[in-house]
Amino acid sequence: MKQLFALIASVGILIGALGISTTVVAQDKAATPAATAPATATPAPAPAATPPAAAPAADAKAEPPKADAPAAAPAAPTAPVLVGADKINSGDTAWMLSSVALVLLMTIPGLALFYGGMVRKKNVLATLMQSFAITCLITILWVIAGYSLAFMPGGSFIGSLDRLFLNGMLFQKDAAKLTVSHLGVTIPESVYVMFQATFAIITPALIAGAFAERMKFSAMLWFIGLWSILVYSPIAHMMWEPTGYFAAMGVLDFAGGTVVHINAGIAGLVCALVLGKRIGYGKESMMPHNLTLTLIGASLLWVGWFGFNAGSAVAADGRAGMAMLVTQLATAVAAMSWMFAEWMVKGKPSVLGIASGAVAGLVAITPASGFVGVTGAFVIGIAAGVICFWAATSLKRMMGYDDSLDAFGVHCIGGITGAILTGVFNVKEISGADASVMTQVYAVLATLVYSGGVSFILLKVIDMVVGLRVSEEEEREGLDVSLHGERVE
């Protein structure tokens, strides 16, 4: 029932938001020839001819959105177009179909187990439930409006409603025609929608790490649903759709260091601050109840991340290969650097430590993965391990917030580390784009302010309407029994 309310409410709000955005579009429109360097007139089947997936294709401004633009447009498309089935590259498509499965695996069961093992036993089902329910909720919202708002050309800050309910996304068997996104011209649009859906799913699911063990399930659904529409879609649009604000500035974010990790991490910190600490925090032991689950979850995240980073090439090509290589390397380095840092400071290399270090490395290499070489991967790995270790232990203790499972300490801090170092270690030979540290920093700050601000408002409103926290009695009893009527023995 409440899901239904959430749906209705979010659609209402997004229509309001769109009213604002169209004014922005009007001011921002500058019709320039859209073709950017590597995209050829007819997208050849050779993977090398695909335009870079993410930000570097950036200085193109929007043409007025035309969902059903003619297939034989001479320039590279700036909106989804209907093409002949022969334009589809089967290698790219096969890899992207696989990537969808890999990235979905990151949330269910990867993140669910990673978080589920870290909570106390009385809250494990509630924590698994959050990841699973978020997967379902966001899938629905993504098809209804999220994809259209994020990945259709529109204004600087948000897309359009041209693909509401995926209206206009076509596959015609007899005519041998189908639509492709302008962000991945060699694969069917349906695959691109699904690929991006898995990103939209994991991002809000990451936030759950910050409010674990104390948030009402109903309030969680409201918050996540609204956040996805009001925060995730706009930030994804700004960064990845060529008409977007950050994309036009030349900000580099290959697979979502800013869009996914900083975005979710700062929202997590705001959740932790607004909800307050868990009862007994600072006095009672809040040790993970089952690090076996956590390590399995971290491993699934790692494997799934190949779909996340190498998949963000939107092609089965050399860039995907490089992205996979630096992802593996940076992750291993970060896991070791966290482990050694902890060993030196605390005296023992912990299981939670090495698992968290690996995730920190995955997070930090995410924005850089299609742009840096081996040197960059090494440095990003070392930095991520040490800095995130500091954030999840010393910084958290110093500031006194209860970021239950370190969504902020690992994802936001790791994401910032990666976003800035992407500007430092970008290799033009690999990325085909210039990078500027200052531009990177600007996008980071803008995301922190926007995501943090909107999250704060959403939480305050939801607190007034349905209440954010469970009662003290329910929290003491554990969310498994008090919210879901079930328990693990």
Partner 1 sequence: MKLVTAVIKPFKLDEVREALSAIGVQGITVTEVKGFGRQKGHTELYRGAEYVVDFLPKVKIEAAIKSDMLDRVIEAIEKAANTGKIGDGKIFVFELEQVVRIRTGETGADAL
Q: How far apart are CA 351 and CA 286, in angstroms?
A: 16
- 138, 224 Cβ separation under 8 angstroms: yes
Please give the size of the binding site for partner 1, defined by CB under 8 A.
16
CB of 410 to partner 1, least distance (A): 11
CB of 282 to partner 1, least distance (A): 5
Q: Is 290 in the site for partner 1 (CB under 8 A)?
A: no
**Number of CB atoms found within 10 A of residue 12's CB:** 10
Relative to beta strand 177-180, strand 171-172 is: antiparallel
Closer Cβ to partner 1, 281 or 442, answer by number: 281
By CB under 8 A, name the one of 189, 317, 406, 480 that touches partner 1.
406
CB of 402 to partner 1, least distance (A): 8
Q: Is 27 in the site for partner 1 (CB under 8 A)?
A: no
By CB under 8 A, name the one of 1, 174, 283, 464 that touches partner 1.
283
Closer Cβ to partner 1, 225 or 297, answer by number: 297
- 354, 335 Cβ separation under 8 angstroms: yes
Residue range at the interface with partner 1 (CB under 8 A); choices 265-273, 389-397, 427-435, 440-448: 389-397
**Any idea what the Cα angle at residue 386 is, between residues 383 and 391, rounded to 5°?**
110
Q: Is 286 in the site for partner 1 (CB under 8 A)?
A: yes
By CB under 8 A, name the one of 44, 85, 287, 303 that touches partner 1.
287
Q: Is 276 in the site for partner 1 (CB under 8 A)?
A: no
CB of 459 to partner 1, least distance (A): 22
CA 208 from chain centre, in angstroms, equals 13
Residue range at the interface with partner 1 (CB under 8 A); choices 45-53, 92-100, 186-194, 388-396: 388-396
CB of 473 to partner 1, least distance (A): 22
CB of 350 to partner 1, least distance (A): 9
Closer Cβ to partner 1, 287 or 461, answer by number: 287
By CB under 8 A, name the one of 2, 394, 465, 487 that touches partner 1.
394
Closest by CA to 415, choosing from 396, 441, 434, 393, is 441
Closest by CA to 370, choosing from 435, 458, 282, 414, is 435
How does DSSP assign 147-195, residue by residue?
HHHHHS--SSS---STTGGGTT--EETTTTEEEEBTTBTTS-HHHHHHH
Q: Is 354 in the site for partner 1 (CB under 8 A)?
A: no
Q: Is 344 in the site for partner 1 (CB under 8 A)?
A: no
Closer Cβ to partner 1, 49 or 395, answer by number: 395
By CB under 8 A, name the one of 282, 318, 321, 453 that touches partner 1.
282
Integer distance in angstroms from the first to the last C-alpha of the chain? 30
By CB under 8 A, name the one of 1, 27, 285, 473 that touches partner 1.
285
How many H helices and E strands in the chain? 20, 3
CA-based max dimension of the chain: 68
**Any idea what the Cα angle at residue 372 is, between residues 114 and 309, rounded to 5°?**
35
Decide: helix, strand or coil at residue 41. coil
Residues binding partner 1 (CB under 8 A): 281-287, 352, 392-397, 402, 406
